[in-house]
Structure 1
Amino acid sequence: MRIALVSDCYLPRLGGIELQVHDLAVHLIRAGHQVTVFTTAEGPVAGGDVPVVRLPAVAGVPLRSAVDRLRAALRHFDVVHCHSSLVSPLAWCAARLADSPLLTLHSLPSSSTPWPVARIDRYVGDAQWTAVSEVVARVLERLLPRRQVGVLHNGVDPALWRQARRTDHPLTLVSTMRLARRKRPMAVLSILQQIRASVPAAIDLRAIVVGDGPQAGAVARAVQRRGLGDWVDLPGRLTRFEIQQLYASADVYLAPAELESFGVAALEARCAGLPVIAMASGGVGEFVRPDIEGYLVRTDSEMAAAAAALLCDGATLSRIQAFNRHTEPGMSWKHVVAQHLTAYSTQHALSQQYLASRS
């Protein structure tokens, strides 16, 4: 099958959508399909393991020449799969141009911030909306009551995250995120303070907040201002390999974002054997069940209390870690690729019917 993946966000910029689109392309190619990524993200003209067409844009908006090139190119694909965040001009343009495209939303809209999804829906026309989680799908269906929204999960390779455990370390909490307001990095510092106050002083603790972003400076200053520097580390952005090694010497993963559409970083930590404590409002609940893979909470105080209790309960901590290390989640790439190919076959059939009706 000839598959076009269209995403405004792509490598070499690092982020959730960027890595997921790349990994989806790689696994589809390994399954024997012809895949090309179309993006306005700047990067190398050639090279890499996935064919990429980089289209010109100004401030993220594709130029007229880019639209013309995209229109001509998409005619040669069996399926066009567009990947959208809350602002994705290229993905929306491709969805409008293609016959029976898929349009997957990777972000969770906030109820407090108006998002003009009805206008976007009218613009993209007959695109089939999908979402990366049931949580996002239900929000989309409420915003677009006449639409049925399917789910195409993000994927993970569990084997890459099952590193040999290291035991010679203090009890370690870890959180990996883009240091931006939406991910709530400042909140995680308050949660860590509450955890430290709740865990007996005789228990040595370490915390590591991995990532970079617009709030990196503010987070670093807050760590010093709050006197957390002796046990909270901010290593900045790490490679996947470095994060895998970090998780091998960690114990609990915190996911404080309240608008987490899916939670790839949390899923990776779960595959590495870490109990995940996450906000129940996001998509993490689709692979974290209470007291099995971790815990779902409603507030920062509940997150701190759950983490403190777990750190003080070695038997429960070891049980959840063992379950997560030895039990494969349903979002492995084997299952996710099969899920995508089923959706692609349906959309390809619809596209063929549409073309037949026009001839």
Structure 2
Amino acid sequence: MKVALLTDCYLPRLGGIEVQTHDLAAQLVARGHEVEVFTATPGARGERHGVVEGVDGIPVHRMAIRLPWELPVNPLAPPEVRRRLRAGGFDVAHVHMGVVSPFATDLARVALGLGLPTAVTWHCLMERSRPLFRALGHARRWGAKGAALSAVSGVAAAAVQAVVGEGSEVRVLPNGIDADLWAPTSPPLRDPGAPVEVVASMRLAARKRPLAVLEVAEAARQLLPADRAMRLTLFGDGPERGRLEKFVATHQMGDWVTLPGRVDRDRLRESYWRSDVYLTPARLEAFGIAALEARTAGLPVVARADTGVGDFVTDGTEGLLAADDQAMVRGLVDLVSDDAVRRKIATHNRTVAPAQAWPAVVALAESEYRRAGAS
């Protein structure tokens, strides 16, 4: 099967959609498929204007134009992409949608206009943009034209279904993870008197709520017994970093809070293996790949119950799910205070692989392609 992956954003940009589409392409190739990527993201050396660049063996059509801040937008791309899709002998197109995806939206229209079987996956929650999506009506029209519609989690799929209506089924096509890469080889060795290590990882942007990580951790620490120490490490970088540093200084948290910045995957994984709890207070989390990585690395996860994290964390089994920040404080206190509960959850997470391992996810993607073809 020859697959065209259509996405606003792709490597070298770093983010959830970028990494997931890259990894999906690699997984599809490993299953014997041929894959090409069409993106409005320029290459590492500024490749754009339709240049085809090889990235890890995958042809990437760089349909970017020169715009301020390298915005992944190109309203001039559809005619040339239409020509390339028609000439390329593709069997299916897979469109990857974010919160606002003008390039992917244009290319979904192009693929369906060519009569190409088309799958569309949303990587976002539509909560804030639902009125706009409903007014524009393109998701509903795509479903009516036979596109196989999906989203990365149950809550994300429900939001898309509410926009699309009953005429088309919106299924769940989750993000995937290399479970063997993240799974620890052995239980961590713990000094009984050492502080409990809490870790978080995210882009330091307001939408991810990094300040809430500090607020929840600080409130939890105030409730802990005097003989129970806790440390927090928050990985990541972004526009909120200065605000976080000011909060740490103002609340005199510097002796137990560390902000190391962004680190590579290997260092992040090793940090997870040495830690005890993962904390993620994001509310607008369609999936939560960082939380899945932490869960696969053996960490109990404390998260909001109304997010995509609930697809791979069951309350009391892989972690604790909370209705609001106050409940997150209580959940964090419980995990830091109760060694037995924390170890029970950690043992489960170390020994039971998540359902979102790549072999299962890529099989679901193939199923979506067959569904698009049948339509």
Partner Cα separation in structure 2 for residue 212 and residue 321 of structure 1: 27
Within-5 A mapping of 1:211-250 = 211-250=236-275
Q: Which of 41, 48, 62 is 1:54 aligned to?
A: 62
Long gaps (5+) in structure 2? 48-52
SS of 1:253 mapped into structure 2: strand
TM-score by length of 2: 0.89
Letter in 1 for 2:73: V
Counterpart of 1:162 in structure 2 is 183
> Which string of whole-angstrom CA distances, capped at 9 and with x for unpartnered residues, describes residues 237-265 of structure 1?
11111110110111001110111101111
Task: Supply the distance in 1 between the matched residues of 2:180 and 2:339 (Cα, whole angstroms).
Answer: 25
Q: Which segment drifts farther, 123-132 or 142-151?
A: 123-132
Aligned equivalent of 1:70, options 78, 81, 90: 81
Do the aligned partners of 2:148 and 2:368 also contact (CA within 8 Å) in 1?
no
Q: For residues 281-331 of structure 1, what are the alpha-carbon distances to aligned partners after superposition, in whole Å with 9 as ceiling and x for unaligned?
A: 101111111111111101111111111111111111111101000001111
Listed one character per residue, the Cα deviations across residues 34-76 of structure 1 (whole Å, up to 9, x for unaligned) are 0111111122343431221110234432142x22221112222
Q: Distance in 1 between matches of 2:316 and 2:64?
A: 49
1:114 is displaced (CA, Å) by 4.1
Match of 2:152 in 1: 132
Aligned match for 1:104, one of 121, 124, 129: 121
The correspondence of residues 1-359 of structure 1 with structure 2, limited to 5 A, is 1-44=1-44, 45=47, 46-49=53-56, 50-57=58-65, 58=67, 59-64=71-76, 66-75=77-86, 76-98=89-111, 99-111=116-128, 114-119=131-136, 120-121=138-139, 124=142, 126=145, 127-145=147-165, 146-163=167-184, 164=186, 165-167=188-190, 170-350=195-375
Q: Flag structure 1 segments of 5+ consecutive residues without an equivalent.
A: 351-359
Within 1, Cα distance between the matches of 2:92 and 2:210? 38
* Cα displacement (A) at 1:348: 2.6
* Separation in structure 1 between the aligned mates of residue 297 and residue 131 of structure 2, nearest angstrom: 37
Query: 2:128, 2:81 → 1: CA distance?
Result: 33
Other structure's SS at 1:167 match: coil
Following the alignment from structure 1 to structure 2, what is the Cα–Cα distance between the partners of residues 325 and 270? 8
CA-atom RMSD in angstroms: 1.8
Q: Structure 2 CA distance, aligned partners of 1:151 and 1:113?
A: 18
- The alpha carbon displacement at 1:86 in A equals 1.4
Q: Percentage identity across aligned positions?
A: 43
The farther-off stretch of 43-52 and 237-246 is 43-52
The structure-2 alpha-carbon separation of the partners of 1:139 and 1:273, relative to structure 1 and needing over 3 Å to count, comes to same
- Partner Cα distance (2:222, 2:132) in 1: 40
The separation in 2 between residues aligned to 1:257 and 1:117, in whole angstroms, is: 25
Q: CA deviation at 1:117?
A: 3.9
Query: What is the rounded CA distance, in whole Å, between the counterparts of 2:350 and 2:75 in structure 1?
Result: 47
Tell me how far 1:112 sits from its aligned partner.
Answer: 8.3
